């Protein structure tokens, strides 16, 4: 028979393997804890949506929608897309399920896979895991600050210290009118020196040129006029208040007028948390205000602000800083037994220890005591419980502390109590 060709995971995707899945769990736990502290409630939306949703929100001419969206027709010819981000689906659901009824604000969080057909590299995947929050229903600048504070608190709860918060205001459509004109005039001078994408952006959305990653465009953008100088009075006041609340809360930040974000729905506040230990894919998370999105998707005019970040980038940053990911899933107790005569006693004790909440590994392979010992040591368990013929005959078990290499016999009836006291 022909050898079957091995099937691999699609390019840009990866498997979360058992030896590292606890890192994902740890970050999910810290995120859920932070969400609880700020009183956000979870929302789960489908991984695919009508492609129109993203065209109308993220924007048909953004890289995310134009180049990176997984778009397909289902069997009935409906145009669908794997979600590239979480804000538009949350807003779609908020409107569809009438969540504004009776509530002035909604504070929602989500966490799940997103899909972007980008060139894969470290920190950039075609399927990645994104957590995010949306604070819907308030234009108060404190809400912007609170979303930023949430981001800062999440990152510091994970123990990360090498990051920088960058904030900006991109104003509203009124400020953009004059600013876009000034910006177009500035970049137009460079004509052919701009990359192909930027020449298109010059016509559609000149602000996006500030964000281009091509080094020649970056150099040109260096001296571009700053949006901060073109904010109208209200946007300027909003930005001042966001900053003054950040000062009040002693959150460190820098104003970076080049932060424009790659999605069309933003106005006013835009921010990113940057990992300073790496040059590429260094945005740990990003977000901003989107006061017109809900109305543009058919809801009532409702202001909102939010943020999202990639779990992979947090894991990489934590690994760079040698941080711990909570409890590694090591067994606490390793039960060693003799397959023939002592297996039943060992099975019973294992079940009792587990019933009492301990993490217990039971050796199922018919290995020698010596080999089982070695496996117990390698597993990282704190204690080994040995049940040999002598123990069975005397109604006892031997408990060995694997850290200090000390062992002692206990009556069967005392074993669980002793281990619980030591481990809990």
Give contact residues for ligand HAM (rule: CB under 6 A): 85-87, 116, 118, 123-125, 128, 130, 132, 134, 262-263, 283-288, 306-310, 312-313
Whichever of 176 and 350 has its CB closer to ligand HAM, that residue is 176
Whichever of 134 and 166 has its CB closer to ligand HAM, that residue is 134
Point out the residue whose Cβ comes nearest to ligand HAM: 306
CB 126 within 8 A of CB 11: yes
- Cα-to-chain-centroid distance, residue 338: 46
**Shortest Å distance, C-beta 147 to ligand HAM:** 8
DSSP code of 7? P
Closest CA to 69 of 61, 78, 81, 57: 81
Q: How many angstroms separate the CA atoms of 109 and 154, rounded?
A: 13
Whichever of 62 and 372 has its CB closer to ligand HAM, that residue is 62
**Shortest Å distance, C-beta 32 to ligand HAM:** 17
Whichever of 40 and 125 has its CB closer to ligand HAM, that residue is 125
**Shortest Å distance, C-beta 100 to ligand HAM:** 17
Contacts of 25 (CB under 8 A, 6+ apart): 326
Whichever of 274 and 360 has its CB closer to ligand HAM, that residue is 274
**Shortest Å distance, C-beta 297 to ligand HAM:** 14
CB 138 within 8 A of CB 105: yes
Whichever of 243 and 313 has its CB closer to ligand HAM, that residue is 313
CB 268 within 8 A of CB 288: yes
The torsion of the CA quartet 254, 256, 261, 266, rounded to 10 degrees, works out to: 80
- Cα-to-chain-centroid distance, residue 61: 26
| Torsion angles phi and psi, residue 315, rounded to 5 | -65, -45
Whichever of 26 and 128 has its CB closer to ligand HAM, that residue is 128
Whichever of 134 and 332 has its CB closer to ligand HAM, that residue is 134
**Shortest Å distance, C-beta 275 to ligand HAM:** 9
**Shortest Å distance, C-beta 115 to ligand HAM:** 9
Whichever of 134 and 361 has its CB closer to ligand HAM, that residue is 134
| Torsion angles phi and psi, residue 398, rounded to 5 | -100, 130
Task: Report CA-CA distances (Å) from 383 to 329, 330, 355.
Answer: 15, 11, 17
DSSP code of 281? S
Q: How many angstroms separate the CA atoms of 82 and 112, rounded?
A: 12
Q: How many angstroms separate the CA atoms of 219 and 199, rounded?
A: 15
Closest CA to 201 of 214, 255, 282, 235: 214
The torsion of the CA quartet 115, 63, 132, 218, rounded to 10 degrees, works out to: 130
Whichever of 59 and 288 has its CB closer to ligand HAM, that residue is 288
**Shortest Å distance, C-beta 132 to ligand HAM:** 5
CB 254 within 8 A of CB 272: no
CB 187 within 8 A of CB 206: yes
**Shortest Å distance, C-beta 235 to ligand HAM:** 18
**Shortest Å distance, C-beta 326 to ligand HAM:** 21
**Shortest Å distance, C-beta 377 to ligand HAM:** 38
| Torsion angles phi and psi, residue 334, rounded to 5 | -115, 120
């Amino acid at each position: 028979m022909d050898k079957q060709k091995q099937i691999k995971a699609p390019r840009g995707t990866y498997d979360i393997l058992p030896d590292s899945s606890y890192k994902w769990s740890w970050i999910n736990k810290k995120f859920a804890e932070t969400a609880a502290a700020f009183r956000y409630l979870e929302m789960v939306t489908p991984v695919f949506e009508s492609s129109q949703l993203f065209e109308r929100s993220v924007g048909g001419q953004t890289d995310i929608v134009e180049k990176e969206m997984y778009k397909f027709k289902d069997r009935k010819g409906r145009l669908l897309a794997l979600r590239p981000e979480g804000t538009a689906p949350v807003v779609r659901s908020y409107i569809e399920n009438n969540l504004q009824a009776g509530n002035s604000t909604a504070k929602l969080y989500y966490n799940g896979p997103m899909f972007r057909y980008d060139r894969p590299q470290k920190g950039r995947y075609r399927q990645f895991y994104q957590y995010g929050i949306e604070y819907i229903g308030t234009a108060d600048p404190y809400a912007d600050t609170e979303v930023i504070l949430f981001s800062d608190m999440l990152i510091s709860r994970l123990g990360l210290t090498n990051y920088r918060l960058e904030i900006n205001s991109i104003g509203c459509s009124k400020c953009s009118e004059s600013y876009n004109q000034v910006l177009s005039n500035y970049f137009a001078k460079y004509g052919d020196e701009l990359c192909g994408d930027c020449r298109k952006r010059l016509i559609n959305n000149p602000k996006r040129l500030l964000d281009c990653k091509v080094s020649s465009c970056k150099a040109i953008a260096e001296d571009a006029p700053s949006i901060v100088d073109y904010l109208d009075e209200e946007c300027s006041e909003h930005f001042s208040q966001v900053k003054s609340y950040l000062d009040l809360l002693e959150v460190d930040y820098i104003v970076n007028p080049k932060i424009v974000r790659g999605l069309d729905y933003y106005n006013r506040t835009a921010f990113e948390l940057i990992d300073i230990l790496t040059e590429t894919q260094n945005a740990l998370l990003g977000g901003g205000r989107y006061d017109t999105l809900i109305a543009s998707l058919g809801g009532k005019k409702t202001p909102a602000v939010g943020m999202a970040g990639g779990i992979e980038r947090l894991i990489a940053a934590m690994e760079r800083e040698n941080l711990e990911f909570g409890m590694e899933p090591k067994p606490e107790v390793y039960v060693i037994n003799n397959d023939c005569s002592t297996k039943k006693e060992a099975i019973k004790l294992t079940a009792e220890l587990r019933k009492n909440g301990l993490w217990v590994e039971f050796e199922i392979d018919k290995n020698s005591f010596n080999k089982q010992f070695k496996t117990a040591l390698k597993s990282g368990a704190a204690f080994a419980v040995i049940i040999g013929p002598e123990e069975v005959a005397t109604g006892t078990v031997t408990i060995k502390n694997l850290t200090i290499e000390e062992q002692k016999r206990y009556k069967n009836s005392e074993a669980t109590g002793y281990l619980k006291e030591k481990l809990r």
